Amino acid sequence: MLTRAIVRPPAPNFAAGLSAAGLGAPIFGLALEQHARYCATLERCGLELTVLAADADFADATFVEDTAIVIGDLAILSRPGAPTRLGEVARIAPALEAAFERVHAIAAPGTLDGGDVCQADNHFFIGLSERTNPAGARQLAELLTREGFTSTIVDLRDVGGFLHLKSAFTYLGDRRIVAIEAVATHAALSGFEIVRVAPGEGYAANLLRLNDVVVIAAGFPRLRAELDRLGYAVEPLDMSEFRKMDGALTCLSLRF
């Protein structure tokens, strides 16, 4: 059961962050409203929030998931692959040091974004991307092995069309993975039941299992219908302003 989460609202310069979405600039006031609804959903699902102050020094800082991987009593500080985001790790480190008994860190020359790490029970998928390089992936895999977990490094750089591994697939629980068609038959996912995201609904592959509730991005009726059919309690959230900045549901929190 998840009991806590760390979040950070967007700063007024949110629109200055990194994005290749091509969907236009986010509306800051609407982004704040969407973030508040996101936080309220986490709380309704039983999570106590640590809400960090908005950080105008780093326009992408609301996407806290990229700064760390959290497991049990351990936090692993990442080393983001975008140079403009490196300083975000030092800003969030005190909150992680207060919440976790042990803190490790990815070191140069490794780079690693938390969005490239997907936990499926005791197994971790680590994606190679424009932001996570082989050295960073290997460091994380070695740390996970020492902690008693297994992992698979998944190179999806040739697939294209998404920023992070969790833009292509996320873990639903119950040995099920929700995946876009381009990766649904990938060998790394063998052994899991694959819930395929319909063409045109790829953004919805990034979903969030919060205890007994599955949170999905609003506006994707075919995936919603499939999750309903499978018996999940589903809550859709409007993510329009974060989508404009290449962000999605998992990006906005560190959950533990």
Q: Which residues does the annotation mark as catalytic?
A: 164, 251
SS (H, E, C) 42-106: HHHCCCEEEECCCCCCCCCCCCHHHHEEEECCEEEECECCCHHHCHHHHHHHHHHHHHCCEEEEC
Rounded distance between C-alpha atoms, residue 223 and residue 33, angstroms:
24
Per-residue buried b or exposed e for 105-124, using 16+ beta carbons within 10 Å of the residue's own CB: bbeeebbbbbbbbbbbeebb
Of 75, 88, 72, the residue nearest 17 (C-alpha): 88
Are 190 and 211 in contact by the 8 Å Cβ rule? The answer is no
Amino acid at 47: L
Helix, coil or strand: residue 127: strand
Number of H helices, E strands in the chain: 5, 15
Rounded distance between C-alpha atoms, residue 74 and residue 58, angstroms:
25
Amino acid at 92: I
